C-alpha cells in the first residue's frame, strides 16, 4: 500500500517560497499526504503568522507511463474552473496563490474528513442528510451556463466512452483469472458504443466529473446545509444530467442502501435544470453506471497490478455489485445488453489474482 511520498528537499524549498510570496508566512512543517489514483502530490503546509494555520499544496506531476492506462489524456489545470465555481457560490477551496510554471497551487485546507469516512460512521438519518446536501450541489453546478473555459469544451463523448470500455475489457475482465478473448472485447466495445449512441442526445450540463464521497469534504463546525466542500475539480466537463449522481450514489467507497439511493434520485430529479422524465432519467442512470463502474473497476485492478496498490481492492465488491445490478436492468430493458450482462455476471467480487 502506498505511503505518503518521501520528502523532496528541492520541492519543499519551493513550497516554502510560494507560501512566503503568497501569504507572507513561514512554513513550520510540511506533511506529505497520500494521494488517490492520480499522479498528483499533495502536502499540508503548517504556517506561522496571522493568516491560515495550514494550507494544502497541490503539485502536478509529469505523467508516469506506468502510473495510468495508456490513452488517458491529461486533465486541464485547476484554474479557471475553481474560480468559476467559487464565483457562482459553489463550495470550493480558496486559492491563496502558487507557482503555475511549477504546477503548484496553494489551496485552503478543507480538513481531512471526506464524506466517504463520515458516511461510514454516521447514523442513517445523518447519512441521508449529508447525501441530500451533496445532491443539492448537483443542480447548482448544472445551472452554470457556458463560460468560455476549457471545461465547456470537454464532454463525455463517444471517444471517452470507448476509452472506458477498453479499460473495462482489458483490466476488469481479467479479474476472472484470464484475459478477455477477442470476442469478449468486441462485446464490450459494442455495448459501450450503444451507451454512447443512447446518451448522445441527452442534455449536456456541467459536471464535476468525479463527484464521489472521497472528493466532498466536511468543514469542521459548519452548520447543516453548508457542511460540504468539493475538491478535485479540474476534470469538469459536459455530461448528461445523471453523471454526477452516478458518481455519488453509485460510489465504490460507500454502498448506499437501495431505499436511500431511490430517495435521493426521486428527490433530486425534478430539481435538475432539465427536469428529465423519470424513464429517461432511470435509463441513463444505468447506462452511465455501467460505463463509470466498468472504468472504476478496471482502474482499481490496474492500480493493484501495475503499482501493487491494494487500497482500492476493498471497493471491488461494491463496484461489481453495482455493475451487476445496472447490467441486469439494461438487459431486461434492451436484450442487446444481454451478452454484456453475462460477462458482468462472471466477475468475481474477489479478483482471482489477489
The answer to the question of residue 119 being in a domain is: yes
> Which residues, 6 or more positions from 64, have their beta carbon under 8 angstroms from its beta carbon?
39
Same domain, 158 and 267: yes
147 against 230, higher pLDDT: 230
> What angle is formed at CA 350 by the lines to CA 345 and CA 352, rounded to 5 degrees?
90
State residue 230 phi and psi, 5-degree precision.
Answer: -90, 140
| Chain segment 16-67, per-residue pLDDT in tens | 999 999 999 999 999 999 876 667 899 999 999 889 999 999 998 765 444 4
84-111 confidence digits (pLDDT tens): 999 999 999 999 999 988 899 999 999 9
**Tally of domains in the chain:** 2
Give a yes or no: residue 2 inside a domain.
no
Please state, in angstroms and rounded to a whole number, the distance separating the CA atoms of residues 187 and 180. 10
Q: Are 54 and 111 in contact (CB under 8 A)?
A: no
Give one DSSP letter per residue of 256-283, joined into a string: --HHHHHHHHHHHGGGSTT---HHHHHH
Q: What is the pLDDT of residue 70?
A: 53
Q: 131 with 226, same domain? A: yes
Residues 151 and 104 in one domain: no
Q: Could you tell me if 165 and 89 lie in one domain?
A: no
Place of cell 490513452: 71
Look at residue 275 and tell me if it is in a domain: yes
Name the grid cell of 318.
461494491
- Select from 200, 52, 216 the least CA-distant residue to 133: 216
CATH for 286: 3.90.1200.10
Q: What is the pLDDT of residue 37?
A: 66
- Span 197-218, average pLDDT: 97
pLDDT at 67: 46
Question: pTM value?
Answer: 0.94
Query: Domain check: are 142 and 87 in the same one?
Result: no
Same domain, 60 and 195: no
Same domain, 285 and 333: yes
In a domain, 219, yes or no: yes
Residue range 43-53, pLDDT digits in tens? 999 999 889 99
Which of the listed residues 58, 89, 108 is the one where a domain comes to its end? Answer: 108
What is the phi-psi region of residue 309: left when phi exceeds 0, alpha when psi lies from -120 to 50, beta otherwise? beta
| 321 occurs within a structural domain | yes
Please check whether residues 154 and 293 belong to one and the same domain.
Answer: yes
Specify the long-range contacts of residues 219-225, CB closer than 8 Å, at least 24 apart. 219/110, 219/111, 220/111, 220/113, 224/129, 224/133, 225/133
The residue segments making up the domain with residue 34 are: 9-108
Mapped onto helix, strand or coil, the DSSP state of residue 298 is: helix
27 lies in the same domain as 176: no
pLDDT of 217 reads 97
Mean pLDDT, the chain, whole residue set? 93
Last residue of a domain, one of 67, 86, 108: 108
Inside any domain, residue 279: yes
> What is the per-residue pLDDT across 151-206, written as a single tens digit (0 to 9) for each?
999 999 999 999 999 999 999 999 999 999 999 999 999 999 999 999 999 999 99
Q: Residue 79 sits in a domain of what CATH number? A: 3.30.200
Grid cell of 208 as nine digits? 464535476
The answer to whether position 221 is within a domain reads: yes
Residue 354 falls inside a structural domain: no
Q: Using a pLDDT cut of 90, give the percent of the chain over it.
A: 85
Judged against a pLDDT cut of 80, whether residue 77 lies above it is answered with yes
Same domain, 13 and 126: no
Question: Helix count (H) and strand count (E) of the chain?
Answer: 11, 9
Does residue 4 have a pLDDT over 70? no
Confidence of residue 5 (pLDDT cuts 50, 70, 90): low
Question: Which residue, among 350, 310, 339, 347, has the nearest Cα to 34 in the 3D structure?
Answer: 310
DSSP letter for 114, please: B
Q: Last residue of some domain: 77, 108, 139?
A: 108
Task: Please tell me whether residue 46 adopts helix, strand or coil conformation.
Answer: strand
In terms of Cβ atoms closer than 10 Å to its own Cβ (0-12, 13-18, 19+), residue 175 is buried
Residues 309, 180 share a domain? yes
Residues 33 and 174 placed together within one structural domain of the fold: no
Amino acid at each position: 500500500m502506498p505511503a505518503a511520498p518521501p520528502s523532496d528537499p528541492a520541492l519543499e524549498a519551493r513550497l516554502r517560497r510560494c507560501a512566503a510570496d503568497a501569504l507572507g508566512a513561514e512554513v513550520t512543517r510540511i506533511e506529505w499526504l497520500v494521494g488517490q489514483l492520480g499522479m498528483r502530490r499533495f502536502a499540508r503546509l503548517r504556517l506561522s503568522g496571522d493568516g491560515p494555520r495550514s494550507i494544502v499544496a497541490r503539485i502536478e506531476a509529469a505523467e508516469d507511463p506506468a502510473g495510468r492506462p495508456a490513452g488517458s489524456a491529461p486533465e486541464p489545470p485547476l484554474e479557471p474552473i475553481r474560480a468559476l465555481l467559487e464565483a457562482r457560490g459553489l463550495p470550493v477551496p480558496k486559492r491563496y496563490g502558487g507557482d503555475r510554471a511549477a504546477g503548484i497551487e496553494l489551496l485552503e485546507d478543507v480538513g481531512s474528513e471526506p464524506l466517504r469516512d463520515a458516511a461510514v460512521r454516521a447514523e442513517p438519518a445523518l447519512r441521508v442528510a449529508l447525501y441530500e446536501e451533496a445532491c443539492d450541489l448537483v443542480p447548482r453546478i448544472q445551472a452554470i451556463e457556458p463560460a468560455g473555459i476549457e471545461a465547456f469544451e470537454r464532454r463525455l463523448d463517444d471517444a471517452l466512452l470507448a476509452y472506458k470500455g477498453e479499460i473495462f475489457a482489458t483490466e476488469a475482465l481479467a479479474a476472472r483469472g484470464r484475459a478477455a478473448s477477442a470476442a469478449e472485447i468486441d462485446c464490450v466495445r459494442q455495448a459501450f458504443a450503444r451507451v454512447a449512441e443512447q446518451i448522445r442526445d441527452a442534455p449536456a450540463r456541467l459536471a464535476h466529473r468525479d463527484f464521489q464521497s472521497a472528493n466532498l469534504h466536511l468543514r469542521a463546525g459548519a452548520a447543516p446545509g453548508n457542511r460540504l466542500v468539493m475538491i478535485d475539480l479540474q476534470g469538469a466537463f459536459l455530461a448528461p444530467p445523471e453523471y454526477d449522481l452516478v458518481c455519488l450514489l453509485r460510489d465504490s467507497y460507500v454502498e448506499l442502501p437501495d431505499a436511500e439511493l431511490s430517495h435521493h434520485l426521486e428527490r433530486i430529479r425534478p430539481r435538475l435544470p432539465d427536469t428529465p422524465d423519470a424513464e429517461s432519467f432511470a435509463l441513463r442512470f444505468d447506462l452511465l453506471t455501467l460505463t463509470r463502474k466498468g472504468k472504476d473497476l478496471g482502474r482499481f485492478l490496474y492500480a493493484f497490478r501495475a503499482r501493487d496498490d491494494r487500497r482500492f481492492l476493498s471497493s471491488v465488491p461494491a463496484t461489481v455489485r453495482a455493475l451487476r445490478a445496472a447490467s441486469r436492468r439494461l438487459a431486461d430493458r434492451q436484450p442487446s445488453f444481454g451478452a454484456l450482462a453475462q460477462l458482468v455476471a462472471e466477475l468475481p467480487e474477489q479478483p482471482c489474482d489477489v
